[in-house]
Amino acid sequence: MILLVHAHPHPRQSVANRALLDAVRNLPGLTVQSLYDAYPDFDIDPAAERARLDAARLVIWQHPIHWYGAPALLKLWFEEVLSYGYAYGEGGTALHGKDCLWVATTGGPPDWYTPDGPHGHEFSAFAPAVKQTARFCGTNWLPPLVVHAAHHIGADGLAAQGAAYRKRLQDWIDTHG
Ligand SMILES: Cc1cc2nc3c(=O)[nH]c(=O)nc-3n(C[C@H](O)[C@H](O)[C@H](O)COP(=O)(O)O)c2cc1C
């Protein structure tokens, strides 16, 4: 019922995304598709990915922010899986009405995401491309979960974010189950 598409270029070196995943992975009805484990050669199987999407009512895109957006393999997944006639265009209604949740972690703390900060913009300035990808495909864009300063909030901070993530998904399951 929930498809969690996880994109971390080095999953075994991950701290923050791993903590978030560990907090939710045993929820009932949740399937984790870890793209960099599944496709180390970037040779995505679009039909298999679409079959997973078809079975889901909530799609999660979870990844670290790399150069202000999604890691390359998730971008390629968008390009190859969300195709004309499937996700948009004539007959492209497969994702209509599904919910979509974006879960992103950043290295930068919130005050780096300001006009005068190192990243030059509010974090929300970097969200429209992924948000509009979801909306163009007819999904319902849920409020994102963004964990800033992922390597500075410590184990307790990550545990709190993981608990909040799990509660979001448990509430969704309770409402849609
Ligand atoms: C190639 C690369 C690019 C990155 N770009 C950004 C960025 O644009 N903005 C930012 O806040 N952090 C950036 N970071 C930091 C990561 O987002 C951060 O280390 C990650 O979210 C931590 O999660 P993890 O422990 O699961 O890897 C970048 C890290 C790497 C390796």
CA–centroid distance, residue 148 to ligand 1 (Å): 10
Q: Residue 6 sits in which domain range?
A: 2-176
Residue type, 12: R
Q: What is the CATH number of the domain that holds 32?
A: 3.40.50.360
17 lines ligand 1 (CB under 6 A): yes
What confidence tier does 177 reach under pLDDT thresholds 50, 70, 90?
Answer: confident
- Identify the pLDDT of residue 91: 97
- Helical (H) or strand (E) element with 129: helix 128-136
- Residues of the chain with pLDDT > 70, as a percent, come to 100
Return the beta strands (E) in the chain as ranges. 2-6, 30-34, 58-64, 99-105, 140-141, 145-147
Going by alpha carbons, the residue nearest to atom 29 of ligand 1 is 66
What band does 45 get if pLDDT is binned at 50, 70 and 90?
very high
Query: Which residue among 10, 22, 61, 65 has the greatest number of ligand 1 atoms within 8 angstroms of its CB, and so is best to mutate?
Result: 65
Pocket lining: 67 vs ligand 1, CB cutoff 6 Å: yes
Burial tier of 160 (Cβ tally within 10 Å: 0-12, 13-18, 19+) = middle
**Residue 55: CB within 6 Å of ligand 1?**
no
Q: 89-114 pLDDT, tens per residue?
A: 999 999 999 999 999 999 999 999 99
Is the pTM higher than 0.85? yes
Give the chain's domain count: 1
